[in-house]
Structure formats: structure tokens, C-alpha cells
Amino acid sequence: GTSMSWLPGLMTIAQHESNGNPRAINLWDSNAKKGTPSKGLMQTIGPTFNSNKGKGMNDIWNPIHNAVAAINYIKGRYGSVFNTPGLRS
């Protein structure tokens, strides 16, 4: 249910967030300091992942599951990948 026109933007986000590494984990930012490090391809935190994951997509480390959660989050928060702060700037 997401336009393929989003793909370049999603690729940019993944490259920026995890350098394309689906096993990336951020242990130093404010989320990590609160005990919820950003994980995976799109660097989602556990609560955000769990709130936005697809049905049956329960593995934050799986790049597809992580991307689906990120896409759902982007749709709910920004409406479009093109409105995300990183791509707008």
C-alpha cells in the first residue's frame, strides 16, 4: 500500500540511520540512555516498532519487518516519506 516513489527516500533514510546494516544498534543517543536503543535497518525503538509493525512481523532485526514498521510510523506521523525531517532538510 505504499508507492514505489517512496523507495529512494526510504533508501536514503536507511543509509543515514544504519548505513544499510539491518543489525545496527545505537547505544549512545537519548533513546539508548532511556533504555530503548534504536535497532535495525531503519533504527526504530522497541515501542515504536511494536506500535507500527505489520501483522506477524515481530522481528525488529528483520529488515523487512523493520522497514514496514518505519513506513507505518512515517505514514502516521508525517503522512509521506517526503515530509520526514531528514528528507525535507
Domain that holds residue 45: 4-88
Q: How many domains does the chain have?
A: 1
**With 80 as the cut, is the pLDDT of residue 89 above it?**
no
CA angle 41, 59, 34 (to 5 degrees): 70
Tell me the per-residue pLDDT of 51-87, one tens digit each, with 9 for 90 and over.
999 999 999 999 999 999 999 999 999 999 999 998 8
Take residue 83 and report the three cell numbers written for it: 515530509
Q: Which residues have a Cβ under 8 Å from the Cβ of 67 and sit 6 or more positions away? A: 10, 14, 41, 42
- Buried-state track 21-32, b at ≥16 Cβ within 10 A, e below 16: ebebeeeeeebe
Phi, psi of 26 (to 5 degrees): -100, 115
Supply the pTM of this predicted model: 0.93
